[in-house]
Amino acid sequence: MAEKRPTALITGASSGIGAVFAREYASRGHDLVIAARRTDRLDALAAEITSAHGVKVRVIASDLSVSGAAKRLATAVGKTSIDVLINNSGWGHIGAFAAEDLDGMANEINVNIVSLTQLSRLFVAPMIERGRGTIINIASTAAYQPVPNMSVYAATKAYVLSFTEGLWGELQGTGVTALAVSPGGTATEFFDVAGGRSMGSALMTPTQVVTTAMSALDAKSPAPSVIVGAANRIMAMVGRFVPRRILISVAKRLMKSGRA
Protein backbone atom coordinates (compact mmCIF):
# COMPACT_ATOMS: atom_id res chain seq x y z
CA MET A 1 0.00 0.00 0.00
CA ALA A 2 1.26 3.52 -0.84
CA GLU A 3 2.56 5.43 2.17
CA LYS A 4 0.14 8.08 3.44
CA ARG A 5 1.25 11.61 2.68
CA PRO A 6 1.76 13.97 5.63
CA THR A 7 -0.76 16.80 5.98
CA ALA A 8 -0.18 20.52 6.57
CA LEU A 9 -2.92 22.78 7.95
CA ILE A 10 -2.41 26.40 6.92
CA THR A 11 -4.54 29.29 8.16
CA GLY A 12 -4.78 32.43 6.07
CA ALA A 13 -3.88 30.61 2.85
CA SER A 14 -6.22 32.81 0.79
CA SER A 15 -3.42 35.30 0.04
CA GLY A 16 0.17 36.38 0.67
CA ILE A 17 2.52 34.33 2.80
CA GLY A 18 -0.06 31.61 3.56
CA ALA A 19 -0.66 30.86 -0.13
CA VAL A 20 3.11 30.52 -0.70
CA PHE A 21 3.41 28.15 2.29
CA ALA A 22 0.61 26.06 0.77
CA ARG A 23 2.44 25.77 -2.56
CA GLU A 24 5.72 24.98 -0.77
CA TYR A 25 4.29 22.16 1.37
CA ALA A 26 2.40 20.72 -1.62
CA SER A 27 5.66 20.73 -3.61
CA ARG A 28 7.19 18.76 -0.72
CA GLY A 29 4.47 16.09 -1.07
CA HIS A 30 2.07 17.16 1.68
CA ASP A 31 -1.69 17.00 1.46
CA LEU A 32 -3.16 20.27 2.64
CA VAL A 33 -5.98 21.66 4.70
CA ILE A 34 -6.28 25.36 3.93
CA ALA A 35 -8.48 27.75 5.92
CA ALA A 36 -9.54 31.40 5.79
CA ARG A 37 -12.72 33.43 5.29
CA ARG A 38 -12.44 33.92 1.49
CA THR A 39 -13.22 30.43 0.28
CA ASP A 40 -13.38 31.52 -3.39
CA ARG A 41 -9.64 32.29 -3.14
CA LEU A 42 -8.99 29.01 -1.30
CA ASP A 43 -10.92 27.01 -3.92
CA ALA A 44 -8.86 28.59 -6.72
CA LEU A 45 -5.61 27.83 -4.86
CA ALA A 46 -6.75 24.26 -4.17
CA ALA A 47 -7.45 23.69 -7.89
CA GLU A 48 -4.07 25.16 -8.88
CA ILE A 49 -2.15 23.09 -6.30
CA THR A 50 -3.99 19.83 -7.03
CA SER A 51 -3.23 20.10 -10.70
CA ALA A 52 0.41 21.15 -10.14
CA HIS A 53 1.35 18.66 -7.42
CA GLY A 54 -1.31 15.92 -7.37
CA VAL A 55 -1.85 16.20 -3.62
CA LYS A 56 -5.19 16.40 -1.80
CA VAL A 57 -6.31 19.87 -0.71
CA ARG A 58 -9.27 20.47 1.59
CA VAL A 59 -10.76 23.92 1.97
CA ILE A 60 -12.35 24.97 5.25
CA ALA A 61 -14.14 28.29 5.77
CA SER A 62 -12.95 29.76 9.06
CA ASP A 63 -13.23 33.19 10.67
CA LEU A 64 -10.61 33.07 13.42
CA SER A 65 -11.82 36.31 15.01
CA VAL A 66 -14.92 34.58 16.35
CA SER A 67 -15.05 32.94 19.77
CA GLY A 68 -14.72 29.15 19.50
CA ALA A 69 -13.30 29.33 15.94
CA ALA A 70 -10.19 27.27 16.71
CA LYS A 71 -12.25 24.43 18.15
CA ARG A 72 -14.63 24.52 15.18
CA LEU A 73 -11.70 24.40 12.77
CA ALA A 74 -10.17 21.43 14.61
CA THR A 75 -13.56 19.68 14.55
CA ALA A 76 -13.83 20.32 10.79
CA VAL A 77 -10.33 18.87 10.29
CA GLY A 78 -11.69 15.77 12.05
CA LYS A 79 -9.68 12.55 11.99
CA THR A 80 -7.02 13.80 9.56
CA SER A 81 -3.77 13.87 11.50
CA ILE A 82 -1.98 17.18 11.09
CA ASP A 83 1.79 16.93 10.76
CA VAL A 84 2.42 20.63 10.16
CA LEU A 85 0.33 23.48 11.56
CA ILE A 86 1.01 26.93 10.15
CA ASN A 87 -0.69 29.66 12.16
CA ASN A 88 -0.36 32.33 9.51
CA SER A 89 -3.71 34.20 9.68
CA GLY A 90 -3.16 37.65 11.07
CA TRP A 91 -3.70 41.32 10.50
CA GLY A 92 -2.95 44.69 12.00
CA HIS A 93 -4.32 48.20 11.92
CA ILE A 94 -2.20 51.32 11.47
CA GLY A 95 -3.41 54.36 13.39
CA ALA A 96 -3.44 56.18 16.71
CA PHE A 97 -4.41 53.89 19.58
CA ALA A 98 -6.77 56.54 21.03
CA ALA A 99 -8.89 56.27 17.89
CA GLU A 100 -8.90 52.45 17.60
CA ASP A 101 -12.24 50.70 17.18
CA LEU A 102 -13.01 48.44 20.18
CA ASP A 103 -14.43 45.56 18.13
CA GLY A 104 -11.58 45.87 15.61
CA MET A 105 -8.98 45.56 18.36
CA ALA A 106 -10.73 42.51 19.82
CA ASN A 107 -10.87 40.95 16.34
CA GLU A 108 -7.13 41.53 15.87
CA ILE A 109 -6.28 40.03 19.26
CA ASN A 110 -8.58 37.06 18.65
CA VAL A 111 -7.02 36.24 15.28
CA ASN A 112 -3.39 37.00 16.12
CA ILE A 113 -3.32 35.62 19.68
CA VAL A 114 -6.37 33.66 20.88
CA SER A 115 -7.00 31.44 17.86
CA LEU A 116 -3.29 30.94 17.20
CA THR A 117 -2.77 29.78 20.79
CA GLN A 118 -5.85 27.55 20.84
CA LEU A 119 -4.96 25.94 17.50
CA SER A 120 -1.43 25.29 18.78
CA ARG A 121 -2.91 23.64 21.88
CA LEU A 122 -5.42 21.56 19.94
CA PHE A 123 -2.88 20.18 17.46
CA VAL A 124 0.27 19.90 19.58
CA ALA A 125 -1.06 17.15 21.86
CA PRO A 126 -1.66 14.61 19.05
CA MET A 127 1.70 15.61 17.53
CA ILE A 128 3.45 14.80 20.83
CA GLU A 129 1.58 11.48 20.98
CA ARG A 130 2.83 10.59 17.49
CA GLY A 131 6.34 11.84 18.33
CA ARG A 132 6.56 14.17 15.35
CA GLY A 133 5.17 17.42 14.06
CA THR A 134 5.89 21.07 13.34
CA ILE A 135 4.12 24.24 14.39
CA ILE A 136 5.02 27.42 12.51
CA ASN A 137 3.66 30.63 13.99
CA ILE A 138 3.99 33.83 11.98
CA ALA A 139 5.23 36.66 14.19
CA SER A 140 6.84 39.82 12.76
CA THR A 141 9.84 42.09 13.15
CA ALA A 142 7.26 44.21 15.03
CA ALA A 143 7.65 41.59 17.80
CA TYR A 144 11.13 42.88 18.60
CA GLN A 145 10.21 46.41 19.70
CA PRO A 146 7.07 48.42 20.41
CA VAL A 147 5.68 50.17 17.32
CA PRO A 148 3.84 53.47 17.94
CA ASN A 149 0.71 53.76 15.75
CA MET A 150 0.66 50.00 15.50
CA SER A 151 0.91 49.36 19.24
CA VAL A 152 -1.71 46.60 19.43
CA TYR A 153 -0.40 44.72 16.39
CA ALA A 154 3.22 44.85 17.61
CA ALA A 155 2.13 43.63 21.05
CA THR A 156 0.23 40.68 19.51
CA LYS A 157 3.34 39.71 17.58
CA ALA A 158 5.57 40.04 20.68
CA TYR A 159 3.14 37.54 22.24
CA VAL A 160 3.45 35.18 19.26
CA LEU A 161 7.25 35.28 19.47
CA SER A 162 7.41 34.73 23.23
CA PHE A 163 4.70 32.04 23.22
CA THR A 164 6.28 30.11 20.35
CA GLU A 165 9.78 30.22 21.83
CA GLY A 166 8.39 29.02 25.18
CA LEU A 167 6.58 26.20 23.38
CA TRP A 168 9.81 25.30 21.53
CA GLY A 169 11.44 24.88 24.95
CA GLU A 170 8.60 22.65 26.19
CA LEU A 171 8.78 20.48 23.10
CA GLN A 172 12.46 19.58 23.39
CA GLY A 173 12.88 15.80 23.16
CA THR A 174 9.30 15.15 21.93
CA GLY A 175 10.06 15.00 18.20
CA VAL A 176 7.80 18.04 17.72
CA THR A 177 9.16 21.51 17.04
CA ALA A 178 7.79 25.04 17.05
CA LEU A 179 9.16 27.92 15.01
CA ALA A 180 8.30 31.62 15.15
CA VAL A 181 8.91 33.30 11.80
CA SER A 182 9.34 37.08 11.78
CA PRO A 183 9.02 38.75 8.40
CA GLY A 184 9.66 42.46 7.95
CA GLY A 185 7.53 44.42 5.49
CA THR A 186 6.40 41.96 2.81
CA ALA A 187 4.54 42.54 -0.46
CA THR A 188 1.12 41.02 0.32
CA GLU A 189 -2.36 42.40 0.98
CA PHE A 190 -1.26 43.20 4.54
CA PHE A 191 -0.91 46.98 4.02
CA ASP A 192 -4.28 47.24 2.19
CA VAL A 193 -5.92 45.64 5.22
CA ALA A 194 -3.84 47.68 7.71
CA GLY A 195 -4.85 50.94 6.07
CA GLY A 196 -1.33 52.26 5.77
CA ARG A 197 1.35 52.97 3.24
CA SER A 198 3.35 50.10 1.88
CA MET A 199 7.11 50.44 1.71
CA GLY A 200 7.60 50.14 -2.04
CA SER A 201 10.93 48.68 -3.02
CA ALA A 202 11.86 47.96 0.61
CA LEU A 203 9.32 45.15 0.74
CA MET A 204 10.41 41.55 0.63
CA THR A 205 8.49 38.85 -1.19
CA PRO A 206 6.35 36.18 0.49
CA THR A 207 8.60 33.61 -1.19
CA GLN A 208 11.60 35.02 0.73
CA VAL A 209 9.64 34.57 3.96
CA VAL A 210 8.76 30.96 3.21
CA THR A 211 12.28 30.11 1.97
CA THR A 212 13.76 31.46 5.22
CA ALA A 213 11.26 29.48 7.31
CA MET A 214 11.95 26.25 5.41
CA SER A 215 15.75 26.67 5.70
CA ALA A 216 15.34 27.19 9.44
CA LEU A 217 13.27 24.02 9.73
CA ASP A 218 15.60 22.02 7.49
CA ALA A 219 18.54 22.81 9.83
CA LYS A 220 19.94 19.89 11.83
CA SER A 221 18.79 21.49 15.06
CA PRO A 222 15.99 23.99 14.26
CA ALA A 223 16.04 27.24 16.25
CA PRO A 224 12.98 28.54 18.16
CA SER A 225 12.64 31.56 15.90
CA VAL A 226 13.92 33.12 12.72
CA ILE A 227 13.91 36.70 11.42
CA VAL A 228 13.60 37.14 7.66
CA GLY A 229 16.33 39.28 6.05
CA ALA A 230 19.86 40.12 7.20
CA ALA A 231 19.09 43.82 7.81
CA ASN A 232 16.10 42.89 9.98
CA ARG A 233 18.23 40.42 11.96
CA ILE A 234 20.83 43.12 12.61
CA MET A 235 18.14 45.64 13.63
CA ALA A 236 16.64 43.18 16.10
CA MET A 237 20.05 42.40 17.59
CA VAL A 238 21.09 46.05 17.89
CA GLY A 239 17.69 46.87 19.38
CA ARG A 240 18.47 44.71 22.41
CA PHE A 241 21.25 47.09 23.43
CA VAL A 242 19.54 50.42 22.64
CA PRO A 243 17.69 52.25 25.46
CA ARG A 244 13.93 51.65 25.10
CA ARG A 245 13.00 55.33 24.71
CA ILE A 246 15.42 55.63 21.76
CA LEU A 247 14.25 52.35 20.23
CA ILE A 248 10.61 53.47 20.42
CA SER A 249 11.42 56.91 18.92
CA VAL A 250 13.22 55.25 16.01
CA ALA A 251 10.28 52.87 15.44
CA LYS A 252 7.91 55.86 15.50
CA ARG A 253 9.98 57.74 12.93
CA LEU A 254 10.21 54.68 10.67
CA MET A 255 6.41 54.22 10.89
CA LYS A 256 5.88 57.87 9.91
CA SER A 257 8.25 57.56 6.97
CA GLY A 258 6.58 54.30 5.87
CA ARG A 259 9.77 52.27 6.35
CA ALA A 260 8.92 50.36 9.54
Ligand X SMILES: NC(=O)c1ccc[n+]([C@@H]2O[C@H](COP(=O)([O-])OP(=O)(O)OC[C@H]3O[C@@H](n4cnc5c(N)ncnc54)[C@H](OP(=O)(O)O)[C@@H]3O)[C@@H](O)[C@H]2O)c1
Q: What is the largest CA-CA distance in the chain?
A: 62
Q: How far apart are CA 160 and CA 89, in angstroms?
A: 12
Least CB distance to ligand X at residue 18 (A): 5
**94 touches ligand X by CB under 6 A:** no
Nearer to ligand X, 58 or 130 (CB): 58
**140 touches ligand X by CB under 6 A:** yes
Q: CA 223, 227, 229: angle at the middle one, nearest 5?
A: 130
Among 6, 133, 185, 224, interactor with ligand X by CB under 6 A: 185
Among 6, 85, 179, 183, interactor with ligand X by CB under 6 A: 183
**43 touches ligand X by CB under 6 A:** no
Tell me, residue by residue from 16 to 35, as one string, x for binding to ligand X by CB under 6 A and - for no binding.
Answer: xxx-----------------
Nearer to ligand X, 89 or 117 (CB): 89
Least CB distance to ligand X at residue 219 (A): 21
Is residue 153 annotated as a catalytic residue, yes or no? yes
Least CB distance to ligand X at residue 74 (A): 14
Least CB distance to ligand X at residue 102 (A): 16
**120 touches ligand X by CB under 6 A:** no
**190 touches ligand X by CB under 6 A:** yes
Q: How far apart are CA 105 and CA 111, in angstroms?
A: 10
Which one of the listed residues 25, 144, 153, 159 is annotated catalytic? 153
Least CB distance to ligand X at residue 175 (A): 26
- Binding residues for ligand X, rule: CB under 6 A, are 11-12, 14-18, 36-38, 62-65, 88-92, 111, 138, 140, 183, 185-186, 188-190, 193
Catalytic positions, written as ranges: 153
